Each structure stands twice: as C-alpha cells, then as structure tokens.
Structure 1
Amino acid sequence: MPITPESVLTANHDPYTPRSLPAAFSQTAGTTGGLTSAPPAAVYERQSRPASVETLLPPPRQPEPYRIGVGDVVLLATPKSGNTVEQLAGVLAAENSRQGYTVQDDGTISIANVGRVEIAGQTIEDAEATLFQRFLDKQVDPTFSLEISEFNSKKVTIGGAVVKPTVEQITLSPLYLDQAISDAGGTTSGELDYTLVRLYREGKLYQVPLKDVYARKGGRILLAAGDIIFVDAEYDLAKAEGYFEQQLKLGSYRQTELAALQNEIALRRAGLSEERDTFNARLELGAEKRDYAYLTGEVGKQSRFALPFNEKASLADALYDGAGGLPAKTANPKHIYVLRGSSDPLEYQSITAWHLDARNAAAMLLATRFELHPNDVVYVAAQPVTHWSNVVNAITPSLLISSVNAATN
C-alpha cells in the first residue's frame, strides 16, 4: 500500500489507544479538599442605638522603654572610615557601614563571624550591651551603634467605623488611643454622642465614649501590643465582646487550618513523588508494560522505539528520534516500509506493507502524519550501490591474498 494522503487516513483509522501514564503524573499536590471545617459562626448583629453609654476604662499604664521583639529589624552601624570598618568586614556591611538584621523566632539575630545573639525582650540599651560583650568575646572591635529600622513585633488593630481600618505599629514613641484613631482617619460615625470606642485587651473588654477620648477625660489611654480597637455606635456590650472573641477564634482557626492544609499538601506531594519515582524505576527495569515499534534495515540505529504515553508517535518520530535518521550513503529513501500485522488474531498471517517513497522531500510530510501502532516494523531498504559495496568488501581480502601469494611465488 503506497503511503498517500488518502491511505494515511486509512492507516490511522485502525483503533489504537496509547498507554496512559499513572494518575500521579496528572495530579498536583494542590488538589486537596482545602479547609476541612467551617469557621466559627458569626455573632455580629446590628443593634439599635443604646439609650445610654457606659464607660469602662482599662487599668492605667505607664510608658515603658521599647523592648525588641520577634520580627523587628535592627540596624548596626559603624564609622565609614578607619580600621573599624576593616576589622568588622564580614560582620557589618562595608559598602555603606549599615546592616539590618531581622529578629528570628528564637529571639536572636545572626551576625557573620559573631554568631547568633539573643536580643528579644531587651531594650536598645540592653541589646547594645549584649552585642558589645559578644564582640569583645569574639575579639572584634565593638565600635558600633544600634537602632531599630522596622517595628513589626508590637501591633494594635483598629477597625469599625473609621476611615481606614488598619494595623498600627507600636514604635519607640508611646501609642495612645486618640492618636491611633486619628491615624486611622478618624470616625465615619455621624453621631459622636453615641459613638463608642471599645478596647479588647487580654480577654477583657473596655469601652469609652469617643467624645471622651477626644476630650481626654480621665487622661490619655496608653495602648499595649495586641490591643484590638473597634469604633461603633450600634453594638451593645455583650455583642461587642462576642465580636472580639469571634475575631480571635477566627484568627486561631485560620492559623490551625492553614497549618493542617500545608501538612496535607506536603504529604500529598511526597506521595505523588513516590508514585512517580516507583513508576519510573519499574519502567527502567522493564517491569511496566510498554508499546514498541521496531526499526531495522538501513537506519542509523537498529533498535526498538518506545511509543510514548498519552499520545501517538509518527513514522517521522521513529526515523529521526529512534533511528537517528537515514544514512545518506546506504539508505534508499525510495523504499521505506511500515510492516503491520492484522489486529485480528485469526488473521495473524495477514501483513500490510505501507510503502513511502521519500525521494521527494515533500513526501516526508506524510511521514509526520502516519501514526505508528504497537509492533509495527519500520524497514528501510539499502541503496543498490550498497549491495556492490558489500560484494567488493567481501572479495577484496581474497584478491589481496591472491596477489600476495602470486608475488611470493
């Protein structure tokens, strides 16, 4: 059967489904069920305007020196000239003599040639003393200054009826309630007489009328790390307390569920990787079934060509990928054959030889469309001159021996 555009359709019409890769090769670690449980039920309900407001002030606090915490970024600075920079090379940045270090979860910063130094919970003065002693222990010139460049460990949350709900960082300067509300853009409530500021701290709820906050009645309220501030005019105290508890539970829920989801994804990824590695190992050892076509005749490499998974291979794929192409000197492009047996077991002696004449390069396009089936045999005939070359190669040793014998006699 000559391979023509019409006969290619006939050849490809024979039923053949490529073998599929295991499901592990098409799945990803992200195909999980996501969060496994519903978040806590909301308790927020809109309330009518209260007839009166109650003031519950938090215990007074006094300003204290800022203590370095996890997540803060401290900056070590050294003079830009002199031997100090040279001696601290590798410890502090030599380019601009300033290097930032983030306080890690264990409360330490890691400095090259000095090691890990614990400074969490210390004031700037205490941290300077700790670093000074560590530099002396490591025989490094301790000429430096310390400052905090980023404040990330102490936060106050502000929400409700404010222009810009935000998370405010506590810095070296004390943060007061009226300042935090101003930093959030002030209130959006139109009725200051009934607007309350509620402060949730360490499991207890406090509330102050907003007009008293602005008037600073009873003094300014100093905020602490972890405070949650909510400005509104429509909650009663019980509902407000329920709202804050809900926010805390929701935050805890999200952290727990996120950790569980990350563990699930990690386990899933490891399982998929193990399945893939096992399949590849079995494939390499020949323990997995695989479909092959066979390449013979005047090809670059006589071998069996593994048909790919999940897709079909063409005659051109076999000739140029599996066989390494056609040798120009020996292969006859006029006679390229694909031998295919019948799929019917009762017709096992029935063989179709699909013939491709590739002397015209355009005919090779048909080779890219001709689909190979399992157990196809691709055969490339030899050039006529190849037969003569084989004959010459066979008789040349005999002629040389005869010539030598004649010269000897």
Structure 2
Amino acid sequence: MASICSAALSGCRSLAPAIALVLALGGCTTGIQFAGGDKEGGGDAPPTEKITEQLIDSERRAYVDQARQDLTPLIVPNPSPYTIGQGDVLSIVVWDHPELAGGGMTTATAAADTGTIAPNVIPPGFAVDHLGRIQFPLIGLQHVEGQTEEQARTMLTKKLARYIAQPSVTLRVQSYRSKRVYIDGEVKAPGLQAINDIPMTLVEALNRAGGMLPSADQSRIVIERGPRRYQINLRELVQKGVNPGSMLLAHGDVVRVHSRDESKVFVSGEVVTPRALTMHNGRLTLNEALGESGGVSPLSGDARQIYVVRKTPERTRVFQLDARASGALAMAESFELRPKDVVYVAASPLANWNRHLSLLFPGALTSAVGVTTRP
C-alpha cells in the first residue's frame, strides 16, 4: 500500500509544474478569441456587445427600418378590367351574320368536333398583331390594343353600323397570350402563368403554381419588376394588416419563393448537439436555437459566455449573453437571430484546463489517478 501511495505522490509531483502552467493558460483562453483581439496588439477584433433589453429594442428598430420599403406600386385594391394586348386571340360573333366569322369559325367548329387542338396551331378567332390590330370583314384593320372587351365591342358595333342595321356583336378574349408572369422557386409547378380576366395577384399566382412547398420560406418572396426588387414577408404583411391578395402583378414580373434552407443559423461550441437550424419563416430566437440544440452542455459549457456572431455588410458584430443573469431567459427569447448567424457557447474554465492538460500530457493525469485507484 505504501508503494502505491508513493508512486501516486511522485506522479503528482512530476505533474505539478505542468498543472500550474495549464492553469495559467486556461485562465487566458476562455471565451471567443479573434486574431489581433488583444488590447495591446491591435483593433481587428470586433467589440463584444452585451445582450440587454436596450440592445434588443435597438436591434428591432434597426431591422424594421432596414426592412421598410415602398410597396405602393404593388398594392392595387380595385384592379382594372383586363385590356387586350398583342398576341391575344379574340372571339367575335356578329349575330345573324355568320359570314363575318371568316375562316376562324370553320376551324373552331372542327376543333369542337374533335375536342382537341393540335400543338403549335393558332387558336381559332381573330389574332391581335404586333401593332395591336385585328383584321375584320367589312371594316378592315382595327386597333384594339389597350381596350377592354366592352370598349372593343362598342367600337366594332359602331364601325359595323355603317354596313349592317343594328348589329349585335359579342366579343371576348378567347386566348390570353399577351401578358404573363413567371413563378420560380419553392412552388409545386414553377413556370409561366398567363394573365387573364381574373386579376393576377400574388396569392392568385402562387395558387396557380400549385401552392408553396413545405420547404418554402414565406418570409423571403421576391418580386422582380424591371430593375426593382421587392422583398415580401407574408407573415409581417398579415401582422401589419396588409392583404397579400391586394398585391397585383404586372406583365413581365418574376416571383421567386426562396427555400428555408437558404436561411440557416449555425449553433456550435459547448452545446449538447451542435447543428445547423432552419429558421421558421424568417424567425428564430436565441432561446429557440439553444433549445433545439439541446441547450448548454452541463459538463463543459459556460452559461456566462453565449455568443452570437453576425456578419453584416459593414462589419462583424459579436453579441454576448450571460445566461445566469437575472432576466436572461426573457432576453434570449426576445433576441431575434438573422440568417447565417453563428451561435457559439464557450467552454468553462475547468473544461479548458482539462483539455490543455490532456493536450500537453496525454494520458499522464489518467495514469496518476489510476495508480491511486488500483486495488
């Protein structure tokens, strides 16, 4: 027994200088470290900002100001009727005068008999040419682009009245081919959608595309109109009382629904399960991120040193939360994360000490302890 104790004591004595060195090193390496971050050597390291109620309010106001944009060009509560455009095909019937239907009526009848229209075949009717005109019997070329069905019908009736007594004209758009929008991204059926007599609102366009997929991020819908880009957050619109059904799309608009996988938050360090988390339609709090990662590791994590690293176009920002402080849980629930944020939990001083000792003398401390516990 005496020999075992003397061996253990001699092992501990041999480790004493190294343990003292490791303790000194461990006290200097807690928390997040940045190159050039020492007080004497330079100012490359970003300052650490404590997460407080004041900072949370400031960040919320800054985010609202940054996200604010003028959506007035998109919001049209009372859409105008559809106007005829180049490429549209019109069905025009002059009652009691079937001869004025031209060759289109024969084609229409044949198509009705077979029930199908072959691909690349122009639908029967009167096509609007590149100058916005149609060729109609008796009255020749007539400009109809930009007119509603009712306006075009009134115009043709007046023109035909010179040749026919009290003409009765029926006009409607048979094939909508002049205006379209493109739907892309996380929808069931991406592609072109023709604008017809039903107003093409944002909700209508998404529904025609089969609806959004479960992977769609409803907070990141982009509408591109020429050089302008509008960022649409459906959740915030509803909260502000804006009806997405009043957002009218125009010819040439491109609607892109982004994926939730593009807006991830990364949780690393001393947590139970380090992982990448997808945001919930643009929203994820610090408390939720820690909870979905299993929380701070009870064996090695330092609850006083929870960091959020955020890369902005101007600089890198580092926020710190002391989870042991009063009201810390409420602040963690109120602190909104942003896409690509990195949540890092630092190791406790004891965990750092153990790791440094294991790196310098792998297995030495275990051997010394094993000697004392060996029967």
| Bin for the TM-score computed over the shorter chain | 0.3 to 0.5
TM-score by length of 1: 0.39
